[in-house]
Amino acid sequence: MPDFQPVRDACAVMGGMTKLAQKLGLPVQVVSSWAAGARPVPIIRCVEIEELTGGEVTRKQLRPDDWWQIWPELRGEE
């Protein structure tokens, strides 16, 4: 089962779920569904969240099951 804590962490870094949703230009319900594990974070949003959080929440954390297939250039990075 995927870990949805990174989404909650991103919300905390941004000052709440509503603030993260606003920065992403999305309804808060979408971010809530990610945080609840009902939907995965779309690939297209992962880099954006990583940048918004200043790297505190990474693409690898947001997509732990497939990040190496999406961003193979990150292999070997810690």
Q: Would you mind telling me the total number of residues written for the chain in this entry?
A: 78
Q: Please, what are the averages of pLDDT over each run of 10 residues along the chain (78 residues)?
A: 81 97 98 93 96 96 93 85
CATH tag, 5-65: 1.10.260.40
- Output the pLDDT for position 32: 96
- Output the pLDDT for position 45: 97
- Output the pLDDT for position 2: 53
- Output the pLDDT for position 27: 98
Does the pTM of the predicted model rise above 0.75?
yes
Give the residue extent of every domain in the chain.
5-65
